[in-house]
Amino acid sequence: MLIKVFRFLLIPFVPLYKLVIILRNTLFSLGFFRIFGVNAKVISVGNLTVGGSGKTPMVVYLTQLLKQRGINVGVLSRGYGRKSKGYLLVSDGQNIKTNVSNSGDEMFLTALECQVPAAVCEDRVTGANRLINDTGVDAIVLDDAFQHRRIHRDIDIVMFDQSFFTEKTLSNSLMLPTGDLREGMSSVSRAHIVVINRKFSEFKNISHNLPTLANQKVFNSYYSVTSFTDVKSGTRYASEDFKDQKVVLLSGIANPESFRQQVNSLGIVPVGELLFSDHNFYKPEQIQQIRKVFYATNASSVITTQKDAVKLREFLTELDDIDLFSLNITMEFDEKEAFEKLIFSKLSYN
């Protein structure tokens, strides 16, 4: 609540922030700021807002799509929330080269899921060139790079949570620092593809709320549950195995509501819930809090997200007497064939 009040008090700075963003974009568009190409095909996945719109599942989807086609693909991210600086090779495609604290939770998860070369670097141009030199990748998927305009991209994908258009609030109508918009809606014109991600919600026709799009193709995506994974052993289980079980929900993500909705839809019975901030790195006192809630609710297990699971692995000894599972999801498209065809077409892969 205090954070919301503080952000509201910053509303006089919104016009200044907007002016800076408009000036920056204009200088890029007019060529005063240089855009650098790299020796690889580049797909950028980003958004216009802060918070979760599904960028990481999209990055995983695209990376696995290119890998299955036999393309030597890598992933590059800033590594939000990491404790390291500069360029860092997270995976060479065979082995993980660092830990989750140094890579950031999203990149660590992506490297584990995709088994491709992956790196983090604040400067995407430097990071892309070093990743190419280190691993020889022919294509790079950039995570959260829509605003990082210094690097040329062959495909620019902008993602929106469907709720951005269906739930009008002060946050999604104003730019930073009061609102959640990084840029104005007119910036969508830079994108090649717009993806409306409904996550676990029902499809809603929001075409009348979309900005006027000249050359952008719009696709609708959603999440589906693939399985549950025992965080300690790595064993996978079908979602049906958890029906009617009493569980504690544990998450540190931007929008826990969709996670909660999906668990409920599977017939699982939450009897407790622990919410932490997005990209939370767990501390010993938080682990003790998890233990306390678990035993107080008489739950059979704790269910968490994939992003949280990679950070909880360092506390497996402390959680040895608690059954801990991650909910595994994958991204799907209403027009899957058309989406994939467009991706390969724009990359000139026949």
> Is the Cβ–Cβ distance between 70 and 61 less than 8 Å?
no
Examine the pLDDT at 1 and tell me if it is beyond 70.
Answer: no
Examine the pLDDT at 209 and tell me if it is beyond 90.
Answer: no
Cα–Cα distance, 339 to 350 (Å, whole number)? 14
Q: What would the mean pLDDT of 189-208 be, rounded to a whole number? A: 90
Cα–Cα distance, 228 to 327 (Å, whole number)? 5
Q: What is the pLDDT of residue 52?
A: 78
3 vs 42, more confident: 42
Condensed to tens digits (0 to 9), the pLDDT of residues 287-337 reads 999 999 999 999 999 999 999 999 999 999 999 999 999 999 999 999 999
Confidence (pTM): 0.94
**288-296 contacts at long range (C-beta below 8 A, 24 or more positions apart):** 290/248, 290/250, 290/319, 290/322, 291/318, 291/319, 291/322, 293/248, 294/248, 294/322, 296/272
User: Going from the N-terminus, what domains does the chain have, and what CATH number goes with each?
Assistant: 2-222+332-346 (3.40.50.300), 224-329 (3.40.50.2300)
